[in-house]
Amino acid sequence: RGAQQAAAIDELARLMPFNANKHKEFGCDNAISPPVGQTLESTSELTSCSTLSESNVSAKTGGGVASLDSVRTDATDQVLTTNQGVAVGDNQNSLKAGLRGPTLLEDFILREKITHFDHERIPERIVHARGSAAHGYFEAYEALTEFTRAAPFAAAGKVTPVFVRFSTVAGERGSVDTARDVRGFAVKFYTDEGNWDLVGNNIPVFFIQDAMKFPDLIHAVKPEPHNGMPQAASAHDTFWDFASLMPETTHTLMWVMSDRGIPRSLRMMQGFGVHTFRLINANGDSHFVKFHWKPKLGTHSLVWDEAVKVAGADSDFHRRDLWDAIEAGEYPEWELGLQIFTEAQAESFSFDVLDATKLIPEELVPVTPVGRMVLNRNPDNFFAETEQVAFCTAHVVPGIDFSNDPLLAGRIHSYLDTQITRLGGANFHEIPINAPLVPIHNNQRDGLHRQAIPRGRVAYEPNSLGGGCPFQAGAAGFVSFPEPVEGDKLRGKPEKFADHYTQATLFYESQTEVEKAHIIGGFRFELSKLTVPAIRERMLASLMNVSVDMATKIAAGLGVSLPENMPKALAITPEVTISPALSLTALPGAGDIRTRKVAILVADGVDGASVMSIQAALTAEGAVACMIAPRLGAVQTADGTLLLATATLENSPSVLFDALVLPDGAKGVALLARYGQTLEFVTNQYRHGKTILALGASKALLEKAGITITLPSGETDPGILQTASVDALDESVSAFFVAVGKHRHPARELDPPLI
């Protein structure tokens, strides 16, 4: 391991910008050559379970949940062993009777290896199968003891480690990230009073009101059972058949057909607890609550044509984006906000707070910020952490309790139940990622894969032989809120549940014109995929109740005439008819360009100085600037200096980038123009509303693509910047940053698209 190796390590570290916390764990220091002449050493000693305060500090400094350290393994400098710890001499050849003879049954090394491999897969989640996760922490702004005794809110500045998994719902584990779908937003708080799972979505309402309908909803949206199609898509007959027969789905359909269904990044979407929960304080007083996560980066989305193309260009688009941001130290952050309200307030609303198809407009109950969540560490192992994590709505801690939402009731059962199949038994809570930080003491025993070794003769309570231990905590433990209940035992729904359209209309009317157009486009696309015209008509009849204008525009795109509207079961006079918070534009973010991906197209003969100065300026602002050329490697600029292209026009199409810089230099531009992908790149950037900066000679590329800087309205497109001379570069670069910070320039959108 000489100087050469040290240089190679430095180079590796440069190419793979691990965040400082993890550098060593990936074995970087030793990855270049295997250790030579190493003697066998015992595996590293298991550290004892760390204390909770250590865990909290560790979470904040990017160490994740400290107790996981005791199970993290690292093969650096270690010899290969069997699962019994026996060193393996030959990992290439099975044991044979003669080199050309039969392989021997005795070969326990081969058999162990193959047997383990044969059993590597576990069932995927029945819904939310595809997900991406990260560690981090929640930090309370102030003590919230007036409302709740829940541990994370006990004191100002209190830190609680979290593990968060984002997911799509319908697609299978290997499906694409950018499908139109709801996104799961599940947070596991490892509190010092046990685990609390807030298992939410990126949309504040749900398709159905009663758990009884969940299997039907999921059977309708999943691939059709006879032919297994389509994957990760709701645009098929069975989903819309169900939806059109269940008007309670309408409000959530509006959200999913909107840009919320195709987020730009998991880091740029909101999260919602959806149901009404209860906060309980130390005196046992209850308040109702709704949970909101607001992303610091603002809420941003893809456009549909882009989402479809991203699926082909990088099916791991969201997973990669989250991973890369955390590795680069750009830790995503959300603010937790609460809508806290009393039972009396709830009674007075025109909707029922137990109905998960309804939200509470922020005009009625404002969202109070109570803390922030930062994700600062990627998992070490996808399977052990992201796949094996088991969220469960029944995981609540003292201070948090349920409401009587009938959808929530079904969930309280379902999540625990499903893990028993998925994770192979009732001891899934012992899997390290699921284990609470506080110790577990109870009389539950045995079962498959038991890890704990409970000591003593007593596994029952009451007992005298164990001194009565473990003993009940009484009021210090979890006590269900003593809500008085009476009524006949019956199947049915409360009256206000029958209103299915008021809030769907509220949502639609609260959108900007661009958002409305996208919703219309979403419905048009999905319904156009149906093969049974009657379903399309029934759906339109239902949408007539949301907005006749919207239904008319959707119908026009489908080439059908407007049906009669579906009869409404109940008409409500709402408290608010417009709620600006429901538009994605309500959370624009800071408007900076941090973590935005910018493509700089280059080819031999481009002007090097301007391109390099823009790359440096972008990097200084925290953007990810990537040089893309017809082929990888060195690009010779007009003045002879070399640039390094790290991606090609072929392997990195336009949809993977938020903005585009086109270079100056007539020769280079002419070369780029010879590649069809260049034109496709420019056209797609334009079509998807992204910012383009064209330096000097590259004006020709815009012209070739038929792009003008005049908007359909006659105004100048703020997202197309051109610089005639290098003298004006600084000014253009500042204008470019402002334009990229706006994320998109939808004013140039036309339906049908111009390009």
Whole-angstrom Cα Rg for the chain: 29
Determine which one of 56, 135, 195, 201 is catalytic: 201
Closest approach, Cβ 45 to ligand HDE, in A, equals: 32
Please state the separation of Cα 31 from the chain's center in Å: 31
- By three-state DSSP, how is residue 528 classified? helix
Nearer to ligand HDE, 194 or 273 (CB): 273
Say how many residues touch ligand HDE, by CB under 6 A. Answer: 26
- 3-state helix/strand/coil string of 530-543: CCCHHHHHHHHHHH
Closest approach, Cβ 274 to ligand HDE, in A, equals: 4
Closest approach, Cβ 59 to ligand HDE, in A, equals: 19
Cα 202 from Cα 310, distance rounded (Å): 20
Nearer to ligand HDE, 125 or 745 (CB): 125
- Encoded one letter per residue, x for contact with ligand HDE by CB under 6 A and - for no contact, window 556-575 reads --------------------
Applying CB under 6 A, does 251 fall inside the site for ligand HDE? no
Stretch that binds ligand HDE, among 127-135, 241-249, 315-323, 667-675 (CB under 6 A): 127-135
Stretch that binds ligand HDE, among 26-34, 196-204, 592-600, 707-715 (CB under 6 A): 196-204
Applying CB under 6 A, does 411 fall inside the site for ligand HDE? yes
Applying CB under 6 A, does 206 fall inside the site for ligand HDE? yes
Applying CB under 6 A, does 299 fall inside the site for ligand HDE? no
Q: Which residue is nearest to ligand HDE (CB)?
A: 184
Applying CB under 6 A, does 180 fall inside the site for ligand HDE? no
Neighbours of 80 (CB within 10 A): 12
Residue tagged 């590329």 (tokens): 701
Residue 227 tokens read as 């032919």
Catalytic status, residue 651:
no
Neighbours of 522 (CB within 10 A): 22
Nearer to ligand HDE, 125 or 553 (CB): 125
How far, in Å, are 282, 595, 730 from residue 733 at the CA level? 56, 17, 5
Applying CB under 6 A, does 415 fall inside the site for ligand HDE? yes
How far, in Å, are 316, 330, 412, 550 from residue 325 at the CA level? 14, 5, 34, 38
**Binding to ligand HDE, residues 504-523 (CB under 6 A):** none
Applying CB under 6 A, does 400 fall inside the site for ligand HDE? no
Nearer to ligand HDE, 419 or 511 (CB): 419
Nearer to ligand HDE, 167 or 547 (CB): 167
Strand partners, 287: 279
- Encoded one letter per residue, x for contact with ligand HDE by CB under 6 A and - for no contact, window 595-634 reads ----------------------------------------
Applying CB under 6 A, does 131 fall inside the site for ligand HDE? yes
Applying CB under 6 A, does 205 fall inside the site for ligand HDE? no
Stretch that binds ligand HDE, among 69-77, 120-128, 253-261, 504-512 (CB under 6 A): 120-128
Applying CB under 6 A, does 199 fall inside the site for ligand HDE? yes
Applying CB under 6 A, does 127 fall inside the site for ligand HDE? yes
Nearer to ligand HDE, 128 or 294 (CB): 128
Applying CB under 6 A, does 188 fall inside the site for ligand HDE? no
Does residue 470 have a cis bond before it (omega within 30 degrees)? yes
Closest approach, Cβ 412 to ligand HDE, in A, equals: 9
Applying CB under 6 A, does 137 fall inside the site for ligand HDE? no
Query: Residue 459 contacts by C-beta under 8 Å, 6 or more apart in sequence?
Result: 443, 445
Task: Give 541-545 contacts, CB < 8 A, sequence gap 24+.
Answer: 541/244, 541/565, 541/566, 542/244, 542/247, 542/250, 542/566, 543/250, 545/247, 545/250, 545/500, 545/501, 545/504, 545/505
Phi and psi at 402, nearest 5°, equal -95, 160
Applying CB under 6 A, does 171 fall inside the site for ligand HDE? no
Neighbours of 619 (CB within 10 A): 12
Catalytic status, residue 128:
yes
Applying CB under 6 A, does 323 fall inside the site for ligand HDE? no
Stretch that binds ligand HDE, among 415-423, 515-523, 620-628, 711-719 (CB under 6 A): 415-423
Strand partners, 199: 186
* 125, 130, 222, 267: which one binds ligand HDE (CB under 6 A): 125
Q: Are 696 and 724 in contact (CB under 8 A)?
A: yes
Q: Are 156 and 388 in contact (CB under 8 A)?
A: no
**Binding to ligand HDE, residues 255-274 (CB under 6 A):** 274
Closest approach, Cβ 197 to ligand HDE, in A, equals: 8
- 3-state helix/strand/coil string of 218-255: HHHHCCCCCCCCCCCCCCCHHHHHHHHHCHHHHHHHHH
Closest approach, Cβ 418 to ligand HDE, in A, equals: 4
Residue 680 tokens read as 């496709």
Residue tagged 């290969």 (tokens): 80
Cα 113 from Cα 95, distance rounded (Å): 13
Q: Are 407 and 206 in contact (CB under 8 A)?
A: yes
Cα 251 from Cα 260, distance rounded (Å): 13
Exposed, middle or buried by CB within 10 Å (0-12, 13-18, 19+), for 438?
Answer: middle
Applying CB under 6 A, does 211 fall inside the site for ligand HDE? yes
Closest approach, Cβ 387 to ligand HDE, in A, equals: 9
Neighbours of 94 (CB within 10 A): 14
- By three-state DSSP, how is residue 183 classified? strand
Applying CB under 6 A, does 402 fall inside the site for ligand HDE? no
Question: Which amino acid type is present at position 534?
Answer: A
Applying CB under 6 A, does 391 fall inside the site for ligand HDE? yes
Applying CB under 6 A, does 128 fall inside the site for ligand HDE? yes
Determine which one of 128, 236, 287, 500 is catalytic: 128
Applying CB under 6 A, does 165 fall inside the site for ligand HDE? yes
Residue ranges in contact with ligand HDE by CB under 6 A: 125-128, 131, 165, 167, 184, 186, 199-201, 206, 211, 214, 274, 356, 390-391, 407, 410-411, 414-415, 418-419
Catalytic site positions: 128, 201
